[in-house]
Amino acid sequence: GENVEQHPSTLSVQEGDSAVIKCTYSDSASNYFPWYKQELGKRPQLIIDIRSNVGEKKDQRIAVTLNKTAKHFSLHITETQPEDSAVYFCAASNPNAGNMLTFGGGTRLMVKP
Amino acid sequence: ETGVTQTPRHLVMGMTNKKSLKCEQHLGHNAMYWYKQSAKKPLELMFVYNFKEQTENNSVPSRFSPECPNSSHLFLHLHTLQPEDSALYLCASSQGRTTRSYEQYFGPGTRLTVT
């Protein structure tokens, strides 16, 4: 089955700096890669996703890049703000496995004011 | 928020108790999921239901028993749990495997403590 590795497990940045979280996946058939944000005490929520037919997607201060050949994808947050502090999860989905998502281990991002 | 709801939000039970967790989605989705979230494994998939049929059982011990009577409701029946089963149990739903929409919507979770 699919295996998703996520790094780093914790990340501390100064407000205004950029943050990058990286994930690798094992199954080359996976074609959908979402990122979820979970604030303390709240449910995970989708913030951005990318499909395998594109290499990059941006939404205001967040962007995701995908390298299919290397089987890795990354989340980029620019001009970080304290409200970006949360746990971020990457995931991969294989069309042969229905709509199941395999999640990475999560990254705790702390943005210091 | 009314998309995916879970009850109870908190549950404390002894190892010999039997209890059930309930999840309800109001999004018209056809797939529902149970996840376990703990410090050791942040988002661990337990069960998947598509159109009320269980399509995945991720090697979950039999002391956890899921039930999906219809596409809107999902239960997790618990019996003779162990202290290591203490965790946040998250329910999620998505449109279903026949569509190209993969986004999963999570409920607020049930914080379970086994004493």
pLDDT tens-digit readout, B27-81: 999 899 999 999 887 899 999 998 777 777 778 999 999 999 998 999 999 999 9
**Is the pLDDT reported for residue A60 higher than 90?**
yes
Instruction: Indicate the average pLDDT of chain A.
Output: 94
Question: Could you tell me if B69 and B93 are in contact, meaning their C-beta atoms sit under 8 angstroms apart?
Answer: no
**Is the pLDDT reported for residue A96 higher than 80?**
no
Peptide linkage before B8 cis (omega within 30 of 0) = yes
- Residues above pLDDT 70, as percent of chain A: 98
Chain A, nearest residue to B109 by Cα: A43
Best probe of the B interface among A99, A100, A101, by most B CBs < 10 A, is A99
> Average pLDDT of A92-105?
82
CA atoms of B76 and B68, how far apart (whole Å): 9
- Which residues of A touch chain B, with CB atoms under 8 Å apart? 32, 34, 42-46, 49, 87, 89, 93, 98-103, 105-106
CA atoms of A40 and B37, how far apart (whole Å): 13
Which structure tokens are listed for B18? 């039997």
Contacts of A99 in chain B (CB under 8 A): 31, 50, 94-97, 99, 101-102, 104
Type of residue found at A51: R
CA atoms of B57 and B70, how far apart (whole Å): 18
CA atoms of A111 and B18, how far apart (whole Å): 42
Q: How confident is the model at residue A62 (pLDDT cuts 50, 70, 90)?
A: very high
pLDDT at A1: 79
B2: exposed, middle or buried (Cβ count in 10 Å: 0-12, 13-18, 19+): exposed
For B42-81, b/e burial (b = at least 16 CB within 10 A) is bbbbbbbbbebeeebeeebeeebebebeebbebbbebeeb
CA atoms of A22 and A6, how far apart (whole Å): 6
Q: Is any Cβ of chain A less than 8 angstroms from the Cβ of B103?
A: yes
Task: Say whether A95 sits in a helix, a strand or coil.
Answer: helix
CA atoms of A94 and A28, how far apart (whole Å): 9
pLDDT at B58: 75
CA atoms of A21 and A16, how far apart (whole Å): 16
Question: Could you tell me if B54 and B109 are in contact, meaning their C-beta atoms sit under 8 angstroms apart?
Answer: no
* CA of A82 vs chain B CAs: smallest distance (Å): 22
